[in-house]
Structure 1
Amino acid sequence: MRSTKSQFPDRSGLRAFTVIEIMIAVLIIGLLAAMAIPAFTRMKETSRAVAFVNDLRIASDAFNTYAATEGIWPPDAEGTLPAEIDGYLKLDLWNGATPLGGSWDWDVDKFGAAAGISVHQPTANITTMEMVDKRIDDGNLGTGTFRTRADGFIFIIEFPPVVEEEV
């Protein structure tokens, strides 16, 4: 005859989580993560944009100080810091990648600017670049002092003089 006793030990007095309770806890954690990840991404992009704007202002101040001292903008220097700016701006700020990816570039009489600081081939998305534009300009990348240029964006320090036509 078979015994009616179960081959499993009696655990009725022990407290434990059921599979349903564990699944609900995992679901709640998943929902919290789903809400937190986009917020973290936005905060990260905002931080990168703020760092970029700060570096841009530092560089702009250096070029403006040079122009005020010397009476002229330093010459255009494709992808490198003009030698004339040595002492006005730290090389490590200029020679490294920008906080938004890409490289810094000093432009004279290019891209609709008498003088401007460009970021060439940034890796940041357009939303981040618009965030930068809203922080320093009009929020429109097609107009104002911060705008698109070929393969990047330019912060115009000085616009070309307006030539009035005679009537």
Structure 2
Amino acid sequence: MSAPSEIIAGTAATPPEKLAIPEALPVPDAPAEDSPAEPEEQEWGTFNFLLIGLVVFLALAATVTAAHQIHHGRNRSRVIKDLTNAAAAVRSYVRLNGTLPNDTAAGVVPAGMASLLAEINWTAPTPIGGLYRLVNLGPKDARGVPAPGTLMIAITAFPPASPLILSTDDLTAIDRAIDDGNLATGDFRAGFAGWPVLWVRLP
């Protein structure tokens, strides 16, 4: 008689009810997808980004403007000092030589005045553009003193000289520092093309 079907190769088969059936492996939860931002949140994020950019831009612009104003103010102060020194140099020349200095082209140091004008970079563009020039138009009174407006320190900007970076407010500020504050009166005035001139009055 053949062995029962439950016995194979001398080994008793495990009854079906005792078979270890592996439990189903747990299925990992799918990663939660980021929920899209609400439209209102997106709008606020964009607005904040633009606002921050605007604040940074305005801060940089204010810094650049302030730096420019400081630099321009220093240049204007330098011109005030140069004009004052130049007028004093002309008076010293007349006192030492008994004669008036000759009229010169812009940027050319008048003959015999190099040492008197040593503190001024006469041959280079002024701090506000243009070039310094000593103007002697010649007319004199009976004492040999130049008529008002004939002996002057001018700043001219004929090409190829660099243009003047000077507003009416700048001219008025210079006038207040060295004269009467009125560009139409006194010794400091706005001359040809609005370029500044300082009349040199001799004692």
Task: Say yes or no: TM over 0.5.
Answer: yes
2:152 aligned residue? 116
Normalising by structure 1, report the TM-score. 0.73
Which deviates more, 105-114 or 146-155?
105-114
Q: Taking every aligned residue pair, what percent have the same amino acid on both sides?
A: 22
Contact 1:77 / 1:105 at 8 angstroms: preserved in 2?
Answer: yes
Task: State yes or no: 1:82 paired with 2:125.
Answer: no
Q: Which has the higher strand share?
A: 1
CA distance in 1, matches of 2:55, 2:174: 35
Normalising by structure 2, report the TM-score. 0.61
1:40 aligned residue? 67
CA distance in 1, matches of 2:79, 2:119: 16
How far is 1:7 from its partner? Answer: 5.6
Residue identity opposite 2:115 in structure 1: G
- How many aligned positions are there? 150
Task: State yes or no: 1:31 paired with 2:74.
Answer: no
How far is 1:20 from its partner? Answer: 5.6
How far is 1:142 from its partner? Answer: 2.0
**Structure with larger Rg:** 2
Contact 1:45 / 1:128 at 8 angstroms: preserved in 2?
Answer: no
Contact 1:81 / 1:91 at 8 angstroms: preserved in 2?
Answer: no
Unaligned runs of 5+ in 1: 9-17, 160-167
Matches within 5 A, 1:7-86: 22-79=49-106, 80-86=108-114
Distance 1:44 1:91, change over 3 A: closer
CA distance in 1, matches of 2:197, 2:115: 23
Residues 55-96 of structure 1: CA deviation (Å, up to 9, x unaligned): 222222221111111222212122222212132223971111
CA distance in 1, matches of 2:98, 2:171: 32
1:5 aligned residue? 31
Which one has more relative contact order, counting CA pairs under 8 Å at least 6 apart? 1
Residue identity opposite 1:128 in structure 2: D
CA distance in 2, matches of 1:41, 1:68: 41
Unaligned runs of 5+ in 2: 1-26, 35-44, 139-146, 158-162
Residue identity opposite 1:123 in structure 2: L
How far is 1:105 from its partner? Answer: 0.7
User: What SS class does the counterpart of residue 85 from structure 1 fall into?
Assistant: coil
User: What SS class does the counterpart of residue 200 from structure 2 fall into?
Assistant: strand
User: What SS class does the counterpart of residue 127 from structure 2 fall into?
Assistant: coil
CA distance in 2, matches of 1:42, 1:139: 21
User: What SS class does the counterpart of residue 62 from structure 1 fall into?
Assistant: helix
Task: State yes or no: 1:133 paired with 2:175.
Answer: yes
Residue identity opposite 1:5 in structure 2: P
CA distance in 2, matches of 1:25, 1:33: 12
Residue identity opposite 2:80 in structure 1: V
